Amino acid sequence: MHVVFDDLVSPAQSGSRVWLDLLVDEVRPRVLESDRPRQVVWSSLWQSRPEDRVVLELAESGSDTALTFTLLASGEVPDDSKTGHIRKRINHLLFADLRFSYGQ
């Protein structure tokens, strides 16, 4: 669980385990809050929604780490299309790119 926490707080920018591969319309998130090893709060990944936050929660699940996220939208609620895009991108970053960086 500590390894996942560390990767969420400081995604590798070089080396063999780079996983935070952002799209053109995305920016590297800043860590706004953290509670080791259970929670990390990121700033928005989207320039068009700079006030949004992504809450990442970690829990032990046997020998694995369970990871969930919650988008906290500030201001105008994103429409269904934008919500779908955000959900898809966070799912891909966390549950494909990050996960596969561990060799699974």
| Residue ranges per structural domain of the chain | 2-101
Q: What is the pLDDT of residues 46-95, one digit of tens each?
A: 999 999 999 999 999 999 999 999 999 988 889 999 999 999 999 999 99
Beta strand residue intervals within the chain, DSSP E: 31-35, 39-43, 53-61, 64-72
Sequence-distant (6+) residues with CB within 8 A of 55 are 39, 40, 41, 69, 70, 71, 72
pTM for this model (two decimals): 0.93
Q: Whose CA is closest to 8, among 50, 46, 36?
A: 36
